[in-house]
């Protein structure tokens, strides 16, 4: 009887060791998968912010009514995309720029004094470089993401 009992203990011990090895394998696969998932989500967040920032600039330009002047100028020392429009006989300017770690927008009368800190925060962005030359608007983020837009005839002006 003791021989059978000893075999039963060895069988139980082997089953327990196999279960432990199986559990360790599952745990290592889960940990590897969670690390890969963390890296992918961090990369996707960064890419989303960059794409969203450039798409915002693109959308502002495309939504500007025909006849409005689109130009780039310095605003409190940073590049600013400006879209001027005439509303009720007064000139208003929409400025899109990057300041203090944020893509910002401000809409104000052309004769109103405002600073870069006054703009509404849109999305986090380190810096935005803007250039307008021969009807081609180039917007570039500090991470190297770049957008080039060809403005319709008569829409862009260099200042």
**Three-class secondary structure assignment of 118-137:** HCEEEEECCCEEEEEECCEE
Predicted confidence (pLDDT) at residue 143 exceeds the cutoff of 90 = no
As beta bridge partners, residue 97 has: 80, 104
Report for 36-40, 42-46, 155-159: range of highest mean pLDDT: 36-40
Structure pTM? 0.71
Rounded to 5 degrees, φ, ψ at 48 are: -60, -45
Q: What is the mean pLDDT of residues 119-134?
A: 90
Cα–Cα distance, 71 to 158 (Å, whole number)? 6
């Amino acid at each position: 009887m003791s021989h059978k009992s000893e075999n039963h203990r060895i069988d139980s011990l082997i089953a327990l060791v196999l279960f432990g090895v199986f559990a360790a394998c599952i745990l290592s696969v889960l940990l590897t998968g969670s690390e890969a998932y963390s890296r992918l989500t961090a990369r996707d967040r960064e890419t989303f912010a960059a794409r969203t920032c450039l798409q915002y600039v693109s959308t502002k330009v495309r939504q500007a009514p025909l006849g409005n002047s689109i130009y780039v100028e310095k605003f409190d020392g940073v590049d600013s995309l400006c879209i001027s429009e005439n509303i009720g006989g007064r000139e208003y300017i929409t400025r899109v720029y990057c300041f203090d770690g944020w893509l910002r927008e401000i809409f104000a009368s052309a004769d109103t004094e405002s600073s870069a800190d006054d703009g509404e925060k849109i999305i986090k962005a380190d810096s935005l470089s803007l250039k307008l030359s021969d009807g081609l608007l180039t917007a570039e983020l500090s991470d190297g993401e770049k957008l080039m837009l060809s403005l319709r005839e008569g829409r862009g002006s260099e200042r």
